[in-house]
Amino acid sequence: MRLSVRMKACAVIAVSALAVASCSGGGEPETRGAIPTPDAELPESSILAAAQAEGTVVWYTPIPEFAIGDVLVGFEKAYGIKVDVVRFPGNTLIQRYSAEREAGQVLADVLHVPETAFFDDTKGKGWFADLNESEVPALAQWPDEFVPDNHYVMVNTQPIGITVNTDAFDPAEVTSWDSLLDARAADRFAMVDPTNNPYYLAWLRMLEQNYGAGFLESIAQQSPKKLDSAVPAAQQVAAQESVLMAPAALSGSLALQNEGAPVATVYPEPTVGIEGYVAASADGPHPNAAKLFVNYLLTRAGQEVLNRGYAASPLPDIPDSVPMPEGYTRADTASAIADKNRLLGLIGL
């Protein structure tokens, strides 16, 4: 069941690009900036005509609601194909997609989740299509390190940093992860619960590898306040109930920052990020449109609208995206999950 798009807090959005404006009361779809003219940038795909004949693509995605409109408008502007969106957290989407598959249903054309293990574990089931440069020609420009397999590809990452209250910290002074141990943050440290997020666990593992196990134990001595998600943690920082939060992705505090709240997110090095991967269903309702949509996300035009203002692109110099931190490393989520209990124990959880 899909909820009405008029519900601003809805868990699911099921709209075409022409209907997404219902979230803001009507008119043209709501976007956050100019939509790049795609004509000169979009490579010709061998499946273009077939995709346009299908006319629609269904996209399962967890990206922030504010980021969706730009993608829908950009893709429809490029190809005249509408996008239906189902938006849930990544784990929920994986569970939903798996349940539908096991029931013999394929409702999603494109699955977009912050996960690699799921794609690897289901590879033998034939759920996801092979991606090749004839049908997805934008793959030719994609860095090899961000194509783990020919069934799925990394399209963006939200680097993990520290969100600070700018009345308590000058962002320029937060140059390393040592700021987590600053005396000002004792008992005023909002920690987004890393327990069930593989990328937050990978962040803990990265800190241990670079600073030692004692560093994680010192974080525990700061008596961080554990919160279930980033938004309430950012609200605490804005209100100075806490002076910093970590692990922090920009999307958690961006709305507050845009409203003028005294918050800023900085990225000490090295760091990891919350990585988004996409795959096209092998036998979805619109298989050609699915591959064309994946192709669009890999173009510079698609990367601009997907990542605008909150995420980093694997491609360099994408306008309005978050710059990829110099010390960014791919998250080793498998090792972090295997070491979960020990890592959590070091920080007192």
Q: DSSP characters for 12-64?
A: -----TTTGGGGGTSSSPP-SSPPPP-TTTPPPPTTHHHHHHH-EEEEEE-S-
Q: CB of 349 within 8 A of CB of 195?
A: yes
Give 235-265 pLDDT, tens digit per residue.
999 999 999 999 999 999 999 999 999 999 9
- Which backbone phi and psi does 312 adopt, to 5 degrees? -105, 145
Give 18-74 pLDDT, tens digit per residue.
333 333 333 444 556 666 765 555 677 899 999 999 999 999 999 988 899 999 999
DSSP 34: P
CATH number of 20-157+274-307: 3.40.190.10
Is residue 245 classed as helix, strand or coil in its secondary structure? strand
- Is residue 276 pLDDT above 60, yes or no? yes
pLDDT at 11: 31
Residue type, 291: K
Query: Mind giving me the DSSP string for 172-212?
Result: GG--SGGGGG-GGGTT-EEEE--TT-HHHHHHHHHHHHHH-
Q: Which CATH superfamily is domain 161-271+329-346 in?
A: Periplasmic binding protein-like II (3.40.190.10)
Give 299-313 pLDDT, tens digit per residue.
999 999 999 999 999
- Mean pLDDT (the chain, rounded): 89
> Which has the higher per-residue pLDDT, 45 or 166?
166
- Is residue 14 pLDDT above 60, yes or no? no
Mean pLDDT for 317-332 is 92
pLDDT at 66: 87
Geometric angle at alpha carbon 91, from 23 and 334, rounded to 5°: 140
Mean pLDDT for 4-10 is 27
pLDDT classification of 224: cutoffs 50, 70, 90: very high
Do 161-271+329-346 and 20-157+274-307 fall under one CATH topology? yes
Q: Over pLDDT 90: what percentage of the chain?
A: 84
Helices 213-221 and 198-211 pack at an angle, to 10 degrees, of: 110
Domain ranges of the chain: 20-157+274-307, 161-271+329-346
